[in-house]
Structures are given as C-alpha cells and as structure tokens.
Amino acid sequence: MKINTATFVISNTDVSKCPAEKIPEYAFIGRSNVGKSSLINMLTNHKKLAKTSGKPGKTQLINHFKINDEWFLVDLPGYGYAQVSKSKRKTFQSFIKDYFLQREQLVCTFVLVDSRHEPQKIDLEFMQFLGENGIPFAIIFTKADKLGNSALNKNFTKYKKQLLKTWESVPTHFITSSESAMGKEDVLKFIEQINTDVAEDFIK
Ligand code: GTP
Ligand code: MG
C-alpha cells in the first residue's frame, strides 16, 4: 500500500474526545522505548510525524494520525515504565484501558515487543487482556537490526514457544526494524487487507 498522506489530527487523554470519524483505526502499544513512535514514522515515511526519544516515557497521550484520508494510526504511551511516577502510571493505565475497551473504530492493535528481549510478563498479560476482550491484535518484533540472524531466530523461537502456552496458534506477527525498514511492506499489506475486509462495516 502506498502512503500518500499522513497527518497529525489530535492528542488527548480521553477516549471520548478522540476523533468521531468512523474509519478503521490501528493502535500501537507496548513497553516504553520499544519503538512505537519510530515504527509509525517508518511506516508513513516520515522522520518526525510521531515524537520519538532515546529516553523512555516520551509519548504520554493518545495521538491520532490520519493516513491517506482513510484510516487512523494511533500512537499510545508505553506501559510498564518504572520512572514515571506511580500516580502518572495509574492515569496512563486507566485511559489506555478505556481506549481499548471503548474505541469502536479499533480494528487491530499492534503489540510491540523488543526482538532482543526474553518474553516479558507485562506484554503477555496485555495480549491476554486484548484476547479476553475480543480485541484483535498482531505482534510486532522491533529493533531487529540490533540482532544478528541467529540471535533473532533463537529469540523468536523462544517467544513462539511461550505464546503457545496460552494461544492455540502463534498470533500474526512481524519482524521489523525502523532503522532498515524491515517488515514495512508486510505490515502495510496486512493493514490494507484489513481495510478491505472491514470496508462494509464502515460505510458512511
Ligand atoms: P515511548 O513513547 O517512550 O513509550 O517510546 P516508543 O515506544 O514510542 O519508542 P521510540 O519510537 O521513541 O524509540 C525509542 C528509542 O529506540 C529511540 O532512540 C529510537 O531511535 C530507538 N529505536 C526505535 N526503533 C528502532 C529500531 O528499529 N532500530 C533501532 N536501532 N533503534 C530503534
Ligand atoms: Mg512513543
């Protein structure tokens, strides 16, 4: 799929104030610093559409970006970031949860996990939360450029094994790098397919 336009629409902490427009929406979630904002920039061919930082905790709001005037990408704050104050973390958690439970336009969530790390409890629990609430998701392994092929394969095999303890089959997944644009076409193709599949549900 070709990205012709990608524009920032609005940031907020209140799901009821998110854009009212009924178009398909894709959310990016995962631990702070995993590369959510960078991935949005990579997919849309922008350097600075979503704000990124080497320090965790950069994205603190629900950010809507409109793509090709037809669908939204949503950049969210990271979960599980210890340096954010406890009260802030609680606020994050409640508005992120509200977003996932209430946003009707949400057609798929991308759960980002760092390719370099062992499966983390917080990510597995979040996938469980999505599953229990009937929210479709796919997994995106990020920062693949930081690993060689054999380490990547080893980690990926381990992750799949862990997932099969909970899920009947390994959920849809992509291996990506925002540095090298690895996985870009596959993720965009996946989104394009969902856009086609759900088109009837979004007739104005
Ligand atoms: P929060 O907004 O804090 O939750 O973080 P985030 O998940 O949006 O992460 P962000 O995109 O800001 O990236 C965090 C850091 O990781 C930045 O320094 C990025 O340059 C770096 N980074 C992100 N993706 C990649 C990648 O694919 N490869 C490499 N090498 N670095 C990456
Ligand atoms: Mg971010």
Question: H or E element: which one contains 140?
Answer: strand 137-142
The neighbouring-strand residues paired with 175 are 141
Q: Ramachandran region of residue 143, left (φ > 0), alpha (ψ -120 to 50) or beta?
A: left
Q: Quick one: pLDDT at residue 203? A: 79
Q: Is 59 in the pocket of ligand 1 (CB under 6 A)?
A: yes
Q: Is 180 in the pocket of ligand 1 (CB under 6 A)?
A: no
> pLDDT 10s per residue in the chain (204 long)?
999 999 999 999 999 999 999 999 999 999 999 999 999 999 999 999 999 999 988 898 999 999 999 999 999 999 876 666 777 666 668 899 999 999 999 999 999 999 999 999 999 999 999 999 999 999 999 999 999 999 999 999 999 999 999 999 999 999 999 999 999 999 999 999 999 999 999 976
Q: Quick one: pLDDT at residue 37? A: 97
**Is residue 35 in a domain?**
yes
Q: Is 53 in the pocket of ligand 1 (CB under 6 A)?
A: yes
Q: Quick one: pLDDT at residue 83? A: 65
Question: H or E element: which one contains 110?
Answer: strand 106-114
Q: Is 115 in the pocket of ligand 1 (CB under 6 A)?
A: no
**Is residue 3 in a domain?**
no
Q: 36-44 and 184-198 are packed helices; what angle lies between their axes, rounded to 10 degrees?
A: 80
- From the CA of 78, which ligand is nearest? 1
Residue 35: CB partners within 8 Å, gap ≥ 6? 112, 114, 142, 143, 178
**Is residue 121 in a domain?**
yes
**Is residue 143 in a domain?**
yes
Spell out which residues have Cβ within 5 A of ligand 2, the ion: 36-37, 58-59
Q: Quick one: pLDDT at residue 204? A: 64
Model pTM? 0.96
**Is residue 106 in a domain?**
yes
CATH code, domain with 152? 3.40.50.300
**Is residue 50 in a domain?**
yes
Give Cα 161 distance to the centre of its chain: 22
CA-CA distance, 190 to 80, in Å (whole number)? 28
**Is residue 43 in a domain?**
yes
- Domain hosting 89: range is 8-17+25-202
For residue 170, give the 3-state DSSP assignment.
coil
Domain count, the chain: 1
Residue 5: CB partners within 8 Å, gap ≥ 6? 66, 67, 68, 69
Q: Quick one: pLDDT at residue 28? A: 98
CA-CA distance, 203 to 89, in Å (whole number)? 37
